Amino acid sequence: MKGDYVGQSLVRLDAEDKVCGRATYPGDFEMEGMAWMKILYAGRPHARVRGVDCAKAEALPGVLAVLTSRDVPCNEYGLQYPDQPVLCGPCDKEGADEVRFVTDQVAAVIAETEAIAEQALGLIEVDYEDLPAIFDPRQALEPDAIRLHPAYPGTPIHPELVFEFNVASRHRIRRGDVESAFEQADVIVESEYEIPGQEHAFLQPEAGLGYLDEQGRITVIAAGQWAHEDRAQIAHAMALEPEKVRVVYPAIGGAFGGREDESVQILLALAAQKVERPVKIVWSREESIVARYKRHKVYARARWAARKDGTLLAAENHVVADAGAYVYTTNKVMGNLLLTCNGPYRIPNVKTDVLGVYTNNLPKGAFRGFGAPQGNFIAESQMNKLAEKLGLDPVELRMRNLINPGEPMPWGSELPDDARGLKDSLEAVAERLGWSRDESGYRAPAKAARAGDPPHIVRGVGLAIGHKNVGFSFGYQENAWAGMELRGRGDEPEEGLVFAASSDVGQGTRTVIRQMAAEALGLPVEKLRVEPTDTAITGSSGSCSASRMTFMIGNAVRGAAEAVLARWREGQRPARAEHTYLAPKTTQIDGQTGAGDPNFSYGYVAAGVELELDTELGTYRFPRVICANDVGQAINPRLVEGQVEGAVIQALGWVSSEHFIERDGVAQTTTLSTYLVPTIADIPGEIETILIENPEPHGPWGARGMGEMPFIVVAAAVQHALRQAAGKWVDDFPFTIERVLRALKQER
């Protein structure tokens, strides 16, 4: 539903500050009397810390303090479950004296300058007892493997967190009878996939400033995705009331899920309290890469069955994911993998097992798509292979099997009535790629070499479709807070303030909030100001993740606008109101069968790629990539297009050049010269974005979440295109030159 402001491509609020260099990021702050902090990392994948001797470091002139495990009142943290020590070492908490990955943190030095802090790190003497380590999650499941975490009591709010031996999380779907379905099958496709991890590589390395504000509150300026969660975790580790802690978000240099868990926040708060001075930290690029969680690497076995006419009979998926050393959001990421790895298809018999497994590798966690990219790759690769084996067109096969709105998904809940986007996005992509349709169904364009192509240039076309949930799911009561204040003396408000704790990680959430507030209030957008994300002045609007923020905050803004306008009309000056939006309820899913109603909304998406392969060099490029995404209603189409383009390129990087390598728990790709994110020279010749707008009934003005969706379908589409060009299905990526050449060689 377009309006005066909704549906308009207004310029971002912060664009002018950013192009002038005026926008301040966490590393840009300076304060009077400011000290610096550096962190000591363990440098070994698994060890017991018997003792930490800081005497020499503390004696170095210019050192103000050294923090160790005993300085942390409650030495644990974690977004889903507090299984990680803030600082590893002896203390009251069982298991906190263990280092479980190479960049687990052991101590922090606070000094007058960064150089002194750095120098002091080398003077800290740590007594380690090295322990055996596990780097392959499949080995961690062996009965004789060592156990990496003490037994936990479990938590009723996350029943999938099982803490059985090294299994951190377990998800299952059981539907029908897979074994007898395989006996009736005409065609079976079996595959083993190795789906890689990924480094977020946002441009702004972690940084921040901790200080005591004018009210004595411990205040942290840092880049995160959920200010109130940062505050809660700082308060938990410091054993303080949350109100004693304040978190402020300045300009944030990208996130993509990589700022969802804590990085420098807790230590900055501890340091500021300890030395009672402002304390600053800026991570190097290497720290940003080696000391943070990544996308989950996944090992999967898939076995799918169909009848000759393409009717899907059964899908069996067994997935083992490397959770790394701590759980972070693994349990929820695996939940989304579970709900996407069978695709949006009508499959009467489903057996799915998804395990998140502890190892001594870097922790794995949230990254754009949150399990859906891995799940979607499994489903869509299986579908493309089935189409080939059946001799059916891949679009036709999908059309015959897509779940219709109102029909049950593998976990039993119905596909919502507004799910036309699945079909619409597939149709849009197929049409742009040259598919035709007659009474026998969809037909791919004839494969013809392009005039002028030398013999070593071959081409392929691939596609995939997908769905992903919007918002926190699995029984969590989704909520978001917004506040408003209208000022003025007369009948018409002269100025409006909008309060929201939404993290602007680059997606433009504050710009969109202002547009939606202007629409809801019926006021010119120029009269509205969006106040900073600061826990001292806002309630919690939840995390900028799960493609949820526009959906959730838009509804909160609508509620707050209605309430504040009522007060304005009653004569309140200034008029103030706030509103907490509660999304439709979801439920946990059954631990044995997966049955439940875990989501309240979905986004739908399709991608098509044209690939051009040089069979002599093994290099390839993408002359054209098309992405069709049902966004419900684009609040700001220009920003939405930017999200689609950015997601597609980030996904192309994951599939082609980004190769995150860990060896014995140590990251090997520790710089941007070895971990290769796409440059301007790597982008497709043409990238076409198609925005489909089937309104989401619960979404503000019909908007649905979209920030992750374009990412999730790209990998399977590229694999499909590469199969046609190279003659082989390559089931592990990134599709490096070596892998492509190997495939070509095997084919010949």
Partner 1 sequence: MKREISFRVNGAEATAVAGGGDRLIDVLREGLGLTGTKEGCGEGECGACTVIVDGRAVNACLYPAAEIDGREVTTVEGLTGPDSTLGPIQRAFVECGAVQCGFCTPGMIMSTKALLDGNPDPSDEEVRDALLGNLCRCTGYVQIVEAVRRAAVAGRDR
Positions touching partner 1 (CB under 8 A) are: 9, 11-12, 14-25, 27-28, 200-205, 251-256, 282, 284-285, 505-508, 638-639, 641-642, 645-650, 671-673, 677-681, 683, 687
Peptide bond preceding 574 in cis form (omega within 30 of 0)? yes
Token pair 């301040």 is found at 24
Peptide bond preceding 710 in cis form (omega within 30 of 0)? no
- Tell me which DSSP letter residue 704 carries: -
**Burial class of residue 73 (count of CB atoms within 10 Å of its CB; 0-12, 13-18, 19+):** middle
Shortest Cβ distance from residue 627 to partner 1 (Å)?
10
Nearest to 539 by CA among 584, 497, 481: 481
3-state class (DSSP) for residue 557: helix
Q: Which helix (H) or strand (E) holds 323?
A: strand 312-324
User: How many helices, marked H, and strands, marked E, lie in the chain?
Assistant: 18, 29
CA distance 609 to 717: 6
Written as six digits, the tokens of 719 are 């694999």
Q: Are the C-beta atoms of 512 and 571 separated by less than 8 Å? A: no
CA torsion sign, 266 to 240 to 99 to 82?
negative
Q: φ and ψ at 694, to 5 degrees?
A: -90, 115
Q: Which helix (H) or strand (E) holds 355?
A: strand 349-358
Nearest to 78 by CA among 135, 161, 156: 161
Enumerate the β-bridge partners of residue 630: 604, 692
Count CB neighbours of 616 within 10 A: 12
Q: Are the C-beta atoms of 611 and 716 separated by less than 8 Å? A: no
Q: Which is nearer to partner 1, 34 or 741 (CB)?
A: 34
Q: What is the DSSP string of 566-608?
A: HHHHTT-SSEEEEEEEEPPP--PPPTTT--B---S-EEEEEEE
Q: Which is nearer to partner 1, 508 or 699 (CB)?
A: 508
Q: Are the C-beta atoms of 517 and 561 separated by less than 8 Å? A: yes
CA distance 121 to 63: 10
> How many residues in the chain?
748
CA distance 612 to 608: 14
List of residues 6+ apart from 572 with CB closer than 8 A: none
3-state class (DSSP) for residue 642: helix
Shortest Cβ distance from residue 293 to partner 1 (Å)?
17
